[in-house]
Amino acid sequence: MKKTAASNQRNVRIIDGIPMLIAAIILVIVLAVIGFAGSNNLRRILIKVFIYCAMGSMWNLMSGYTGMTSLGQQTFIGVAGYTVALFTAKFALPFAVGILAGGVIGGVLALILAVILFRMRGMYFAIATWVIAEAFKTFFTSWGFVNAGGGMTVAGRPDREVIYLMCLVLAVASIVVIYVLLKSKLGLGLTAMRDDADAASSVGVNIFKSKLLCFVICGVFCALGGGLYYLNNVSIYPGSGFAIDWTVSLVFIVIIGGIGTMSGPIVGTIIYIVLDEVLAQLPAGWSNIILGLIAILVILFLPDGIMGTLQKKLHFELLSQKRFSGE
Amino acid sequence: MSFIQNIINGILLGGIYALLGVGMTMMFGIVKLTNLAHGEFIIMGAFASTLLAQALGIDPIITLIITVPCMFLIGMVLQSVLINRVMLQGSEPALLVTFGLSIILQDAMLLLFTADARRANVSYSTTNIQLPGGLYISVLDLVVFVISLVTILILTIFLRRTYMGRAIRATSDDTVAASLMGVSVRRTYGIAMGIAMATAAVAGLGVGMRWTFYPSSGGTYLLIAFGVVVIGGMGSIPGTLVAGLVFGLAQVFGGANYGLLVSYILLIVMLAVRPQGLFSK
Amino acid sequence: MSESILKVEHVQAKYGDFIAVEDATLDVPAGTIVSVIGANGAGKSTLMDTIAGVHKASGGKIIFKGEDISGMPAEKIVLRGLSLVPQGSRCFIRMTVEDNLIMGSFPKSARPMMKDTLDRVYTLFPVLKQKRNDLSGSLSGGQRQMVAIGRALMTNPDCVLFDEISLGLAPTIIKDIYARIKEISSDGMTVVLVEQDTHRAIRTGEISHVMLKGRVVLSGRSRELGEDEIKKAYFGL
């Protein structure tokens, strides 16, 4: 995915700055209020939206901006889910400790895995991330300490409202982190790197450090998301925590929304969750078939995704990484 | 189990592992495509052989007469209609499309065939050939091993001796020069995918004969295939054969619980240290 | 002058926005050797690729044996008897010399003559017969060029385009290969030679076309034009 979305548009109107900030703050306040005033069902759906939005944005940061297509983010999700279960059920610690520990472990794990993964590129990287996730799944399935294939149950689950707020914070934090990251010098370097690795290094961007930072941040956020998801879900199994289905969802969200656009994953998440809720009425199996077909059709006919195509056609850019609109 | 018995079992396992990887290595080497749906293709082959054998009351091996040409055609159509088009957009969209295909196929099989465990039944499934020293060879494993070797041999001869086989190799070396020899690259890609699917049909038969399988089993076999491809070197068929044996032995010596894990770790180490494979220059 | 087998009329070819060939008109009479001369970057190779169908023309017409072949893909053009020896030989390096040559007989029309043409190529380049079971990737540059020429002949062409076959080769080898090309031509084959070396091109080609910055700026019988005039056109003086 070389020339993605609006990255090389000239004359684009960038919707950004103070008005955008005010709109975003109002939106977050409204969402927070819904957390207390809304129905249980709405809360349940929005929790999913927040978690997937955070993870999808992170997957987009990796694939869309740094060219690392990971098919193994479920490694971090599963490990964090198990961390929460272990901390609350085995060690009888508060859930917040479990969530934070999951995030820390996710970051450390990303650092360790980077040593291996950063020796690879492209499809090798993609498959290796998947193999690692499968290795974790296999290991957890036979590891007695985590009850092997029998799975674990989280203890001391807080109220749904608390989880809701934590998920909202996670989603907002992920978008803010990505926004700040991409607006920094490092972010500009990343975009340059995606388009031309040699040019980026000649500009003086340390590619290795930038990629590592992105990979670790993604690891941390996917771990936090995974921890919150399983705190909410209560039970975790190796087959669910480390399931490739996580990656399927993230890929779908980013492809549909528009890879390499900051607003794409947000739009993609909403479409994904709505579709998922609607398709859940159908017998099991149909939902993935339809999602898969939609994704393939989008890749074929709308390779820039919804936001990428809209931005190109209408010459605007929502949440741009560009610093100056005259650029 | 004794050491020698482990080696026998590892080699027999290696044969089918090589067959799992051979279609994938062709796609890698020739079409330069990472086909994440290869595992589902194999499971499609397993279902086709198992169900046909049941319905017609024949030995599963005979079903290859039907499954191999059908899968060849499906592969050709798939490549010509869909993947050739996506490949124009680059390798990542193509990777993601095959990923989407694998999800669709997996759930389509779940809807069609339910989540029940299946197995292709053969009369000799529990027969062993006794060897001196308490060693034995499972007839079933031996049959699958021979089928695998014969398939790989036929494929090798086809690639070496026929015009189409040479055209496929030429295309993998240099698409422009191949087109100057009158080769249609897109058509060659279609044929390569057809052949990859045909080997998946045979591999599926082997999988169905040796193990119980589910619609969701594709991922496991994809990763084994990928491991074989990586260790053998992308696009090298003799390499695939050796890699299959390495992988099979690693898994047998790893034992029942950690066999798969040992294979995965071996694969990750290979990817990190020598991604071009053991047998390429 | 005999009837022309290949006519290139005002062909234009681009890479993205970059115009590599702006306006090229050539006429190749059947059975002759025609030289296309020009400095590096004059658009000679792009023009050859465009004629052979490897690259799509963005304008103009290419007529081969009376048929408009512009826009046709390479694999169809070769079936009509027009073959290109591409720049840098582009052998199939992981295939043996003999497999490379047999690949040339891939067009169905060429297959029945495969054995005979193979013998002819081996007579033309005996060294290839010696090395027939070696991987072409292990050969020297000159030998690879011979493989590429042999492979083109195997397609059973009426006209062969040679794109800078002398590039990077030692003078003695160049001399040898050029002698073989004359031999091929004397069998009735039409030859188009792309060259940077004006002297060699004029000596070999009966007709010369000079390209400069994407245009054919001078065309005529080599002897009538004379080396000085061709050199002037070559440098754009």
Across C115-124, average pLDDT: 95
Region C201-211: what's the mean pLDDT?
90
> Are A53 and A171 in contact, with CB atoms under 8 Å apart?
yes
Q: How many domains does chain A have?
A: 1
Residue B255 — left, alpha, or beta (φ > 0 → left; ψ -120 to 50 → alpha)?
Answer: left
Residue B264 lies in a domain: no
* C171-198 pLDDT, tens digit each: 999 999 999 999 999 989 999 999 888 8
Give a yes or no: residue B29 inside a domain: yes
- pLDDT value of residue A186: 76
CB contact under 8 A, B111 and A139: no
Tally of residues, chain A: 327
Quick one: tokens of A310?
């809209």
Q: Would A227 be classed as within a structural domain? A: yes
- Counted residue by residue, chain B has a size of 281
Is B257 within the bounds of a domain? no
Asked if chain B contacts chain C via 3 or more Cβ pairs within 8 Å, the reply is yes
Q: Please report the ipTM that was assigned to this predicted complex.
A: 0.93
Residues of B in contact with C52 (CB under 8 A): 180
Asked if the structure places residue B247 within a domain, the reply is no
Q: How many domains are contained in chain B? A: 1
| Residue B276 domain flag | no
> C193: which residues sit within 8 A by CB, 6+ positions away?
C33, C34, C35, C36, C162, C165, C181, C201, C204, C205
Task: Give contacts of C 46-105 with B, CB under 8 A.
Answer: 52-54, 73-75, 78-79, 83-84, 86, 90-95, 99, 102-105
Identify whether A92 is part of a domain.
yes
Q: Determine phi and psi for B26, rounding to 5 degrees.
A: -65, -45
Do chain A and C touch: 3 or more Cβ pairs under 8 angstroms? no
Across the interface, of A120, A292, A295, the residue whose CB is closest to B271 is A120
Q: From B177, which residue of chain C is nearest by alpha-carbon distance? A: C90
Closest partner CB to C151 (pick from B163, B176, B181): B181
The label of the residue with tokens 């055609």 reads B73
Question: Which among B163, B177, B185 has the least Cβ separation from residue C92?
Answer: B177
pLDDT at C211: 93
User: Of C86, C99, C105, which has the smallest distance from its Cβ to B180's Cβ?
Assistant: C86
Residues of C in Cβ contact (< 8 Å) with B170:
92, 95, 103
Find the distance separating the first CA and the last CA of chain A, reported in whole Å. Answer: 22
Q: Are strands C190-195 and C33-38 parallel, antiparallel or unpaired?
A: parallel
- Percent of chain B clearing pLDDT 90 (strictly above): 65
How many whole angstroms separate alpha carbon A98 and alpha carbon A154?
10
B170:C83 CB<8 A: no
Q: Does A280 touch chain B (CB under 8 A)?
A: no
Least CB-CB distance to B174: which of C79, C90, C105? C90
CA distances from B56 to B65, B121, B202, B211, B235 (A): 13, 13, 18, 21, 37
Give residue A170's domain range.
12-243
**Average pLDDT estimate for C26-34:** 94
Point out which residues pair with C212 in neighbouring strands. Answer: C215
Chain B contact for A291, CB < 8 A?
A: yes
For range B160-175, the mean pLDDT: 94
pLDDT higher than threshold 60 for residue B202: yes
**Structure-token match 């005039």, residue found:** C229
pLDDT in tens, C144-168: 999 999 999 999 999 999 999 988 8
Neighbours of B246 (CB within 10 A): 22
- pLDDT, averaged per 10 consecutive residues of chain A (327 residues), comes to 42 69 86 85 93 95 87 96 94 93 96 91 85 92 88 89 94 92 79 65 71 93 96 94 90 90 92 91 85 91 87 73 42
| pLDDT of amino acid A3 | 39
pLDDT computed for residue C127 by the predictor? 95
Q: Reply yes or no on whether the pLDDT at C235 is more than 90.
A: no
The Cα A143–Cα B257 span in angstroms is: 10
Residue ranges of C 148-187 with Cβ closer than 8 A to chain B: 151-152, 155
Q: Residue B223 and residue A120: Cβ atoms within 8 Å?
A: no
In this prediction, residues B148-176 reach a mean pLDDT of 95
Give the total residue count for chain C.
237
Hey, how many other C-beta atoms are within 10 angstroms of the C-beta on A104? 15
Q: Tell which wins on pLDDT, A199 or B60.
A: B60
How near does any CA of chain C get to the CA of B163, in Å?
Answer: 6
- Asked, for residue B273, whether it belongs to a domain, the answer is no
The CB-side HSE value for A86 (13 A sphere, CA atoms) comes to 16
By Cβ distance, the residue of B100, B219, B230 closest to A296 is B100
- Residue/partner pairs of B259-263 with CB below 8 Å, 24 or more apart: B260/A138, B260/B220, B261/A135, B261/A138, B261/A139, B261/A142, B263/B224, B263/B227
Tokens 């508060």 correspond to what residue? A94
Q: Is the dihedral of CA C82, C86, C89, C90 positive or negative?
A: negative
Question: C95–B178: do the CB atoms touch at under 8 Å?
Answer: no
Mutate to test the interface with C, among B162, B181, B234 (most CBs of C within 10 A): B181
Residue A114 lies in a domain: yes
* pTM for the whole structure: 0.87
How many residue pairs bridge chain B and chain C with CB atoms within 8 Å of each other? 71
Neighbours of B174 (CB within 10 A): 18
- For chain C, the average pLDDT equals 92
CATH class of the C1-81+159-166+190-237 domain in this structure:
alpha beta
Residue A51 burial by Cβ neighbours in a 10 Å radius (0-12, 13-18, 19+): buried
Residue C12 to residue C57: CA distance in whole angstroms: 6
B269 domain-assigned: no
Residue A270 lies in a domain: no
Residue A214, in any domain of the structure: yes
Any B CB within 8 A of A62 CB: no
Q: Where are the alpha helices (DSSP H) in A38-121?
A: 40-60, 66, 74-85, 95-117
Residue B277 predicted with pLDDT over 70: no
Establish if B180 belongs to a structural domain.
yes
**Inside any domain, residue A123:** yes
CA B281/CA B163 separation, integer angstroms: 26
**Confidence at residue B276, expressed as pLDDT on a 0 to 100 scale:** 67
Closest Cα of chain A to B104: distance in Å?
4
Q: Does residue A323 lie within any of the structural domains?
A: no
Q: Is residue A250 part of a domain?
A: no
Place of tokens 């947000």: A266
Amino acid A320: pLDDT:
63
